[in-house]
Structure 1
Amino acid sequence: MDHFFKKYDSFNDRFKATANGLLINMLIASKTSSSFSKDVTFYEDGTHKQNEFINAMFSCFEQLNISKKLDAYKDIYEHEKRGKSGWFPIVIISSPVDDYSEQPAEITVYRGCSLKSFEDNSYRNRQSWTTDFDTAKEFAFNRYGFNKKDRVVITTTVSNSDIFWIRAGEREVVLNPRFTPLSDVIKLDYEQCNRDGQI
Structure 2
Amino acid sequence: MSKVELPPSVLDCLKNEMQIEMEHFFNKYDSFDDSFKATANRLLVDMLRVSKESSSFNEDVSFYEDGTHEQNKFMDAMFDCFKLFNELQSSKIDLLKRMYKHHSRSEGYWFPVVVISKPLASYLNEPSEFILYRGCYLDEYNSKDFRQPWTSDLDTAKRFAFIYGDFDKSNRVVVKAKVKNTDIAWIVEITTEHEIVLLPDFSPIENDIELSYIQYCESKNQ
Measure, in 1, the Cα distance between the counterparts of 2:137 and 2:106.
Answer: 15
| Cα drift, residue 180 of structure 1 | 0.5
What is aligned with 2:31? 10
TM-score by length of structure 1 reads 0.92
Contact 1:84 1:144 in 2 (8 A): no
What is aligned with 1:40? 61
> For 2:168, which of 143, 147, 157 is the aligned residue?
147
| Cα drift, residue 162 of structure 1 | 0.7
**Is 1:66 equivalent to 2:87 in the alignment?**
yes
| Cα drift, residue 5 of structure 1 | 2.2
**Is 1:86 equivalent to 2:112 in the alignment?**
no
Bigger Cα displacement from structure 2, 188-197 vs 93-102: 188-197
| Cα drift, residue 121 of structure 1 | 2.3
**Is 1:196 equivalent to 2:219 in the alignment?**
yes
| Cα drift, residue 84 of structure 1 | 4.1
Please provide the CA RMSD for this pair.
1.6
> For 2:186, which of 165, 180, 188 is the aligned residue?
165
| Cα drift, residue 198 of structure 1 | 6.8
Identity within the alignment, %: 50
- Aligned positions, number: 197
What is aligned with 1:49? 70
The alignment partner of 2:122 has SS state of: coil
TM-score by length of structure 2 reads 0.83
Measure, in 2, the Cα distance between the counterparts of 1:45 and 1:69.
Answer: 32
Distance 1:198 1:127, change over 3 A: farther
Unaligned stretches of 5+ residues in structure 2: 1-21
- Counterpart of 2:64, as a letter, is Y
Measure, in 2, the Cα distance between the counterparts of 1:130 and 1:16.
Answer: 37
The alignment partner of 1:197 has SS state of: helix
1:128-176 Cα deviation digits (max 9, x unpaired): 1011111111111111122222211111011111111100202111111
Which ranges of 4 or more aligned residues in structure 1 deviate by more than 4 Å? none
> For 2:44, which of 7, 13, 23 is the aligned residue?
23
Contact 1:97 1:164 in 2 (8 A): yes
- Counterpart of 2:95, as a letter, is A
What is aligned with 1:178? 201
